[in-house]
Amino acid sequence: MVEEIFVIAKTYPTRSRKYKELVCTAGINRDGEWKRIYPIPFRSLEEYKKFKRYTWIEAEITPDKSDPRVESHKINTSSIKILENIPTGKEWGRRRQLILEKTRIYTNLREIINAATKSNTLSLCTFKPTKFLDIVIVDNPKEELTEKEKKEYINANRSLFDTESCEIEFTGMPHIPYKFKIKFEDDAGQVSSMSVIDWEIPQLYLSCKKDGDEIAIQKVKEKLLWMIEERDLHLFLGTMKQMHIRKSKNPYTIIGLFYPPKTKKYQGSLF
């Protein structure tokens, strides 16, 4: 099935045994329905297929029968066509219209968790916390590859690049030694602390790391606080596959940050 999708979430690349490196990508179709599309080894795509967030793309997608999450679809990367990027002009007006008016804005954690773990009817959503509480930064130790995993990783590279020297030609994205979390409260007073895996945040850390680790951490914290205090921050939440399957207490993480300017029409209670 060929479908047009407005891409609104791209996560920092993670290592994959089968596909080398994957980016969790999610968006909505013309009817406002969420679609999770993968596998996308994004940095390995041809340049003309590398789409930005807030871009309409056209691609052939099919429901993924191996994934119980209802929004999950496999994508034929060779079919990707970039249609239109939606700019930030007029206070993000067109982006607001597509996202805040096309998708349901959830405000209750228990509702979305039950929809994922009990009825299995939801695994992606737009969420608006009632109150932001804190930015939490914790260590994220690097997992060392076993010899078997190293071999699988190299084989994945070879299958994608068709070259014996691919492990030299392709370098995986750097490990991020910290998890950046946002702690917030929902409309029922339930508190949660979720990791932010939106590509923008780890990339900011890496860009600032040349000035020192402490400065890089501070820059990330300042950016997140700016989104909370100065912008109309909404969270794109998605469940992690294994946590969804195991019906974890809270299978969601923050896969994207939507932070248009505050306006009278959309501004809600943040504090």
pLDDT, tens digit, 9 for 90 and up, residues 204-219: 999 999 999 999 999 9
Phi, psi dihedral angles at 124 (to 5 degrees): -140, 140
- What 3-state class would DSSP assign to 164? coil
Half-sphere exposure of residue 254: CA atoms within 13 angstroms, side-chain side: 27
Dist CA 28 CA 35 (whole Å): 6
Look at 1-15, 24-38, 169-183, 230-244 and tell me which has the smallest mean pLDDT: 169-183
Do 90-140+176-258 and 2-88 have the same topology in CATH?
yes
Question: What residue ranges in 140-190 does DSSP mark as E strands?
Answer: 178-185
Q: State the fold for domain 2-88.
A: OB fold (Dihydrolipoamide Acetyltransferase, E2P) (2.40.50)
Residue 160 pLDDT exceeds 60: no
- How far from 59 is each of 4, 18, 23, CA to CA, in Å? 7, 21, 16
Where helices occur in 43-196 by DSSP H, the ranges are 89-100, 109-117, 147-161, 166-169
Banded model confidence at residue 268, pLDDT cuts 50, 70, 90: very low
For the segment(s) 90-140+176-258, the CATH number from 1.10.260, 3.30.1490, 1.10.3470, 2.40.50 is: 2.40.50
pLDDT tens for each residue of 56-92 = 999 999 999 999 999 999 999 899 999 999 999 988 9
Dist CA 209 CA 40 (whole Å): 27
Look at 27-36, 202-211, 262-271 and tell me which has the smallest mean pLDDT: 262-271
Residue 164 pLDDT exceeds 60: no
**Residue at token pair 């060779």:** 78
Burial of 48 (0-12, 13-18, 19+ CB in 10 A): exposed
The domains of the chain are located at 2-88, 90-140+176-258
